[in-house]
Every structure is written in structure tokens, then in C-alpha cells.
Structure 1
């Protein structure tokens, strides 16, 4: 009998291996990949261009919650299943994002078998039926070797030669939702994520004009331009001041010509109360 291809995502290595052990013990699954971050799984799917039967995903993870991961990875699987130590607490949230199953940690074999029976009797709904839009993604060049993203990968992404004979990393897909702000410095636009400890991590860079970013982000209500060189993601605004906003612990000023637009967008996002 052919096995079900699956992928497992959990930021805790021990929990990841525990889940994998139960899956292997049943003999019903072919584990295509085990990942400690959503981005690593996303990179895998971009490179392999394949679909698996189930993605088993933790919910509480530092780089991206399972509730966000389902938006980014749903098109790569027939079924998306949450694996969490807080199954009861997340049951309603799972229903809202159309998750196909919810398993408690540690995963039990009989619970897993019941899930498989349920999924086999269920006809996967189309993406239009789910009314679930995948998170837009941008490809970035060069991941800082000292960044959290690079250190999370044991071997790192493969290297390639840059046209200018500079060694850079392979392009990396990054969800727009993860970008806290971006800033043009010299010829490159630098993209930063904000971690829960208020530390910024360089996601990558692009040799682009800010005008190109206008074309990409003008349709996304989360992003607003602060001046000639900076865009911010309004979802990461923690405080609003008279001359700008705080994204994490970093204060970013707004130019006079863009202040009215910032105020309007803050009101649309219901963030203007953070004074």
C-alpha cells in the first residue's frame, strides 16, 4: 500500500521528533520533510514544487504561528492539521481558518488513526470554497549569515554567483506579513522582521528602486510609505507619536508630505488609539 506523503512543522525539535516517531510507527506515512520553522517548510515547497497529503503544524511558534502558516502553506497540501498542547484553547481558531484536524501533544496512535479515517472520508474543498487567500510572497536576495533565519538552517541555503561576482545566497521566499519594515540604503532595500523580544532580523535585500516597492505594496493596506526610503507594516506599530510611529523599539519618523496619508491609514487599521 502506498503511504501518505506528509510534512511536519514544530519549532521544538523534541516535539518534532516525537510526532515523527508516531507517524513512522503506524507505517501509513512517508515523511517528506521535518522543519523547525514555517519558512524552512515554505522554502522546501518552493524548491520541490510538490504537494503532500497532510501538513502537521504546531500553532505556537516564534517565527510564525500555525494560524498564519495555514494561509502560507495551504495550497501545498490536501489537508492541514494542527498539532498542539492547547487543543481545546485553539479549537475555535482552527475552525475559523478551516483547519482539517486538531491533534493534542503528545500525539497518540489511536487518535491519529481516527484522524486518517476522517480525512479519507472527506472530500478536500477547493481554495475558492475555503475563501482562504494565500499570503503574498516576495523573493529576497542574501540572508545575513548572522541572522536568526540563517542560523535556523543547519546547512544553510546553497550559494550561487552574483552577476557582479559577489557571493550571495539563493533567493529566499518571504511572506509580506513577516516584514515589519523595509529601508533603502545605498543601492539596496533591506527587509526586516520583528521577533517577540523586539529584536529586528534582516530577512534579505533587493537591488530595487523604492518606486518598485510602491507598485508592489500600494494595494496592500498593511503597508504605508513613511518617506523616500522607508515603508512600514502597520501591524507592527506599537506606538503612534506626533512625528512618526514606533515599530517595536525603533522610532520611524514620517515626512510632512506623507503625514496625512499615514494618519488616514492608521485610522483605517484602527491603530490611531496607540498614542
Structure 2
């Protein structure tokens, strides 16, 4: 089992000590550095990004906050290394964390069971990094009747059928268009895949894939849970980690 190199950033020495004590139970983990402020953390990650697999990142720190670091790293996918785990005592930051491609979100005090599940998910993601097409910021056009919408493809999280229309869910709003799923599949980039009879997902926004009954569930970067039918697994299995 390969070594996972990780960084811990937290302004509370006791929090770092407690987390290090729990992580000591996993011999394949290598703590490369610990920081007590956001500025030093960001500088280190920018200089050593390709040497770090996993980051435990406190949200409230002197200097740059955890969310600020997420924004400045400008990740295109939650699954892209280094995987960023937000650690905080405040639940209200979860949406913003996933919006900026955090891999996971842990509430303090971090339980051993929750940490074990987080590390298992991280190991799966790192062992089988998704081979997604390069993330782009190209404009995509959609018909809404008499007018046309122009959207950045990276802003689109998923598209779902809604009666005779399709509903586009972006990072900030929901929009209704007058196109069919079949028409969209013929012209959208390859990272938009059908995962259910009525659902298209932008794979750049997939945060987690897990079995659910006889099918799968996707957790997206905005926290939304999407059912994915086994029937459509061939559409995404080569680009995302297998469950």
C-alpha cells in the first residue's frame, strides 16, 4: 500500500496534536508539514502541490481562512490531488467548501469512525485518480424559447429532466431550457454523462461515488446527492474511481 503524504493546518496546537494521535494508527500516512496559519499553508501547497496527497485544513485560521485557500488553489475537481479535507466546528461552511471542491468535511471533535471513513474514501480516490478531460471554461449555449443562455461549462453541476423541459443546476441557480436529454447528449462535452434515465452530471463536480442498494449514489460538489443507475455505469466508470 503506497504512502499518503499529508499536511495539517490548524491554529489550535491541541487540535493538531489530537489529529496526529489519531492518524498515528495508520502506518501508511506521512505527515510532511503542520501549519498554524493560512498564509504559510497556501505558500507551502503552491510550492509542493505535487508532493502532497491530502490536506486537513481548518476553516478558521489567522491570515487566510480555509475557504480562501480552497479558492486560491483553484481546483477543477474535488477528486484532483491534493485532496482537501475541511475541519471545523461550524456546519454552516459546508456548502461553500464543496462549492470550491473540498473532498470532505469533518466536524470537530473528529471521531475515529468518521476519520476512518474519510481516509478510506481518500485512499480510493488517490489509488484510482479519475482521468477526466481537461477542465475548460468554454461557453455552452442553451435554448430557452426565444432567447439563448450562455453558461460556462465548469459552472454547470447537473442537468435533470423536468416534464417537457430540462433543468440546469449551476453553482448559483437553477435554469429551465427547452431541449431534450437526447439533444444535449449529442453536443455537450464528454465530461457531461448520463447517470440516470433523466439525469446528466458534470463529472468535474463529482465529490464521491458509493454503492446504494443495487445502484450508486454520487455526492456532488454542492452537496447534492444524485442517484446513478447501474445501467449507465459504463458512461462514467472509466473516468471516475470504481466503487
Scaled by the length of structure 2, what TM-score is found?
Answer: 0.46
Q: Choose 1 or 2 for highest CA Rg.
A: 1
| TM superposition score normalised by structure 1 | 0.42
- The answer to which structure, 1 or 2, has the higher relative contact order (CA under 8 A, 6+ apart) is 2
